[in-house]
């Protein structure tokens, strides 16, 4: 791209919105039209029971639309448009997050498990009633003693060939299913994950359909149900605990796509290896992780809309010889809080759109295992990044609004409370980043193993050159030899060169991954305890995952801009992308300085350029949040209302 860029005076907010809405713009618009329904709006002021009743009413209202049908096959009454379904879910997240999570449990987790883990008999029997909300269900995976380590769950389902039933048992308190949405009040059937045992052999974790309540709402025989009670947020969702005392489940209650049990107890599976079978099974449920990533970004957009609009209206302190006080968003310090976060929200939104597109294409075509593994890796990393960004940004928005941001009526407190758990459900973020790093290392090992002699020599030469540069800061011959490698620092290159920004983050990803691979290999070759080697390298593994996602997000932003036909909108997005990229580089400048990819003067230039970009983008701040397309009925915070005064930072006309 051209580094010298003059932003136009007139920019069409609709063009920006179209860019953000992307491939499934029509689905997003249908949801926006729906969100004016009062039944779908949040009421956190109500008592707990009333919040739950209202949320259930909202679920039934959503079930009466085509939204849930997007997630299910056509032969069972669905529309089979997964990309449109996830995009609709993201857009719904601008409204009541309790209702969103309730829908996610019902249609995404419960219905998704039946669709992806079950077979035709389960689909025919359950999917229509699930998408219509005639059968309310829940997803019972997490146990009190085991959350992230799903493979070690301790609930047991033992097959009894005499009755052709599974006997589901909770062996102790730590094996109780916990934090289960829809369990405390509304759910009738649960997808229960348990260790399958038959003929004296254990075959790993499988999923079973277990009736937990009868038609009158009473617990089924042998099923224990407890209410999780009041939570920090999402109180419209009836979370509960479940445990099982020899509960009998018919043989066809096993969701048997990846493992089945014959009448005599013989076990069979299309995937023989127990570990591969387990990860294949969980991989089919990646849709929930992707949905939470998108939902967290929608909540972040709500918070930024409130904070930016308030920043454009709130005045504080007079300039010398001025009659009126200064609008707070005209202060650089305030811009520094909100505008880089706004830029990163745009970046993550474009990365999310790319991820949803991959999900849709993988599920609608006969995708190979490599494509599915890439999807799972991207989903894990982006979910962690997006939810952590949401937590940090919503808090920053609250502080940017001062005491007003703490008032319930201004919505930021509810956004904080309702999204906080996103960092630990659908996968704990730290664990997810370790999964990303593991996949990167596996791919790295495969690539290095396939190098020919020349490739191996080049690989080693690059490693040596990198080490020489880091330790000595040497230039000259060694510098010229690696100039062609991605990420080489160049004092003459503009910081606004997209190619340079991308190459810098790509080099960081490559270098960190190579470093952690060397570190692990050294420990293994020395015969050290494998767990200790891994544990001692966790910081390095997490850094490798973060570096990978940082690079991929920037590339996604750059790719998305190239598809924007409106020149004015594209010009503005280029500047927003610059701000995001340089904010990441500034955040990681300690690392770049340590590895001689930034000099001290260059590091200072990064900060100065970010300041310039904040000033340049200040007049477009409201335009950028307006482009999120959040319906007016959903931004009811008084501090976000009214017209912004004309100031030095007002958008040009």
Instruction: Give me the DSSP letters along 638-649.
Output: GGG-SPPPP-TT
pLDDT higher than 80, residue 491? no
pLDDT higher than 90, residue 9? no
The predicted model gives 531-560 an average pLDDT of 94
Q: Choose among 341, 465, 279: nearest CA to 271.
A: 279
Model pLDDT, residue 36 = 85
Q: How confident is the model at residue 370 (pLDDT cuts 50, 70, 90)?
A: confident
Task: Judge whether 77 and 241 are in contact, CB under 8 Å.
Answer: no
Model pLDDT, residue 365 = 57
**Phi-psi map region of 234: left, alpha, beta (phi>0 left; psi -120 to 50 alpha):** left
Q: How confident is the model at residue 653 (pLDDT cuts 50, 70, 90)?
A: very low
In angstroms, the CA 600 to CA 618 distance is 27
Give the residue carrying structure tokens 């040009």. 652
Percent of the residues in the chain that have a pLDDT greater than 90, as a whole number: 75
SS3 string of 315-363?
EEEECCCCCCEEEHHHCHHHHHHHHHHHHHHHHHHHHHHHHHHHHHHHH
The predicted model gives 456-481 an average pLDDT of 43
Model pLDDT, residue 456 = 40
Please list the active-site residues.
Answer: 426
The predicted model gives 136-165 an average pLDDT of 94
The predicted model gives 352-372 an average pLDDT of 84
Percent of the residues in the chain that have a pLDDT greater than 70, as a whole number: 90
Q: DSSP of 557-612, one letter per residue? A: HHHHHTT---HHHHHHHHHHHHHHHHHHHHHTHHHHHHTTSS-HHHHHHHHHHHHH
pLDDT higher than 90, residue 502? yes
pLDDT higher than 50, residue 273? yes
Tens-place pLDDT, residues 191-244:
999 999 999 999 999 999 999 999 899 999 999 999 999 999 999 999 999 999
The alpha-carbon radius of gyration of the chain (Å, integer) is: 26
Model pLDDT, residue 644 = 65
The predicted model gives 484-512 an average pLDDT of 81
Q: How confident is the model at residue 368 (pLDDT cuts 50, 70, 90)?
A: confident
The predicted model gives 125-137 an average pLDDT of 97
Residue environment code for 339-357, b if the CB has 16+ CB neighbours within 10 A, otherwise e = bbbbbbbbbbbbbbbbbbb
Model pLDDT, residue 287 = 92
pLDDT higher than 60, residue 489? no
The predicted model gives 288-304 an average pLDDT of 97
pLDDT higher than 70, residue 477? no
Q: How confident is the model at residue 453 (pLDDT cuts 50, 70, 90)?
A: very low
All structural domains of the chain: 13-131 (1.10.540.10), 137-276 (2.40.110.10), 288-640 (1.20.140.10)
pTM for the full predicted model = 0.91
In angstroms, the CA 402 to CA 400 distance is 6
Tens-place pLDDT, residues 168-206:
999 999 999 999 999 999 999 999 999 999 999 999 999
pLDDT higher than 50, residue 476? no
Give the residue carrying structure tokens 């029971």. 49
pLDDT higher than 80, residue 488? no
Q: How confident is the model at residue 44 (pLDDT cuts 50, 70, 90)?
A: confident
Model pLDDT, residue 577 = 98
Q: Are strands 247-250 and 189-198 parallel, antiparallel or unpaired?
A: unpaired
The predicted model gives 138-158 an average pLDDT of 92
The predicted model gives 512-535 an average pLDDT of 87
Tens-place pLDDT, residues 393-436:
999 999 999 999 999 999 999 999 999 999 998 889 999 999 99
Write the DSSP symbol of residue 366: T
Model pLDDT, residue 479 = 40
The predicted model gives 85-101 an average pLDDT of 97
The predicted model gives 359-363 an average pLDDT of 88
Tens-place pLDDT, residues 384-394:
999 999 999 99
Which SS3 state, helix, strand or coil, does residue 243 take? strand
Bridge partners for 167 per DSSP: 158, 248
Q: How confident is the model at residue 645 (pLDDT cuts 50, 70, 90)?
A: low
pLDDT higher than 60, residue 26? yes
Question: Where is average pLDDT lowest: 484-493, 516-525, 599-608?
Answer: 484-493
Question: Where is average pLDDT lowest: 295-299, 500-504, 515-519, 618-622?
Answer: 515-519
pLDDT higher than 50, residue 482? no
Question: Where is average pLDDT lowest: 196-210, 214-228, 466-480, 548-562?
Answer: 466-480
Helix 429-449 and helix 369-400, axial crossing angle in degrees, nearest 10 = 140
């Amino acid at each position: 791209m051209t580094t010298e860029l003059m932003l136009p005076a007139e920019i069409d907010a609709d063009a920006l919105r179209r860019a953000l809405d992307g491939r499934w713009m029509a689905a997003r618009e249908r949801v926006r039209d729906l969100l004016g329904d009062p039944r779908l709006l949040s009421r956190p002021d109500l008592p707990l029971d009333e919040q739950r009743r209202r949320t259930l009413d909202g679920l039934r209202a959503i079930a009466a639309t085509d939204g849930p049908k997007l997630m299910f096959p056509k032969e069972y009454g669905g529309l089979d448009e997964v990309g449109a379904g996830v995009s609709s879910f993201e857009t719904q997240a601008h409204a009541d997050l309790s209702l969103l999570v309730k829908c996610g449990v019902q249609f995404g987790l419960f219905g998704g498990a039946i669709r992806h883990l079950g077979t035709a008999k389960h689909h025919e029997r359950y999917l229509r009633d699930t998408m219509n909300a005639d059968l309310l269900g829940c997803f019972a995976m997490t146990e009190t003693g085991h959350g992230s380590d799903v493979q070690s769950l301790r609930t047991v389902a033992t097959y009894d060939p005499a009755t052709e039933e599974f006997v589901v048992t909770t062996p102790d308190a730590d094996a109780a299913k916990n934090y289960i949405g829809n369990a405390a009040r509304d759910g009738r059937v649960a997808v229960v994950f348990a260790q399958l045992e038959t003929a004296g052999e254990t075959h790993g974790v499988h999923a079973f359909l277990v009736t937990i309540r009868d038609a009158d709402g009473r617990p089924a025989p042998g099923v224990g149900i407890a209410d999780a009670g009041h939570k920090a947020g999402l109180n419209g969702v009836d979370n509960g605990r479940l445990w099982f005392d020899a509960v009998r489940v018919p043989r066809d209650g096993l969701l048997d796509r990846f493992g089945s049990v014959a009448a005599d107890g013989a076990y069979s599976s299309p995937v023989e290896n127990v570990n591969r079978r387990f990860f294949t099974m969980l991989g089919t449920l990646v849709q929930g992780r992707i949905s939470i990533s998108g939902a967290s970004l929608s909540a972040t957009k709500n918070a930024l809309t409130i904070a930016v609009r308030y920043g454009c209206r709130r005045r504080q302190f007079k300039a010398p010889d001025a009659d009126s006080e200064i609008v707070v968003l005209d202060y650089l310090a305030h811009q520094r809080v909100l505008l880089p976060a706004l830029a990163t929200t745009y970046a993550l939104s474009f990365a999310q759109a790319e991820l949803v597109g991959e999900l849709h294409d993988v599920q609608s075509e006969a995708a190979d295992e490599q494509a599915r593994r890439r999807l799972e890796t991207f989903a894990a990393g982006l979910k962690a990044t997006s939810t952590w960004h949401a937590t940090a940004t919503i808090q920053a928005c609250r502080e940017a609004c001062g005491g007003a941001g703490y008032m319930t009526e201004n919505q930021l407190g509810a956004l904080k409370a309702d999204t906080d758990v996103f960092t630990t459900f659908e996968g704990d973020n730290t664990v997810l980043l370790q999964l990303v790093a593991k996949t990167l290392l596996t791919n790295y090992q495969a690539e290095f193993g396939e190098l020919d002699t020349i490739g191996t020599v080049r690989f080693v030469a690059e490693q040596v050159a990198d080490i020489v540069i880091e330790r000595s800061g040497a230039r000259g011959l060694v510098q010229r030899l690696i100039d062609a490698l991605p990420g080489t620092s160049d004092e003459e290159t503009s910081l606004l060169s997209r190619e340079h920004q991308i190459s810098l983050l790509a080099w960081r990803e490559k270098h960190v991954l190579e470093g952690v691979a060397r570190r692990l290999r050294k420990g293994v070759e020395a015969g050290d305890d494998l767990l200790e080697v891994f544990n001692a390298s966790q910081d390095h593994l997490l850094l490798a995952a973060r570096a990978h996602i940082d690079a991929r997000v920037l590339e996604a932003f750059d790719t998305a801009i190239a598809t924007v036909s409106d020149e004015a909108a594209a010009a503005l997005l280029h500047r927003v992308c610059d701000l995001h990229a340089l904010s990441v580089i500034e955040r990681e400048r300690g690392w770049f300085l340590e590895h001689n990819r930034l000099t001290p003067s260059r590091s200072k230039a990064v900060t100065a350029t970010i300041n310039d970009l904040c000033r340049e983008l200040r007049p477009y701040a409201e335009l950028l949040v307006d482009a999120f397309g959040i319906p007016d009925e959903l931004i009811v915070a008084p501090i976000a209302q009214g017209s912004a005064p004309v100031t030095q930072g007002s958008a040009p006309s």
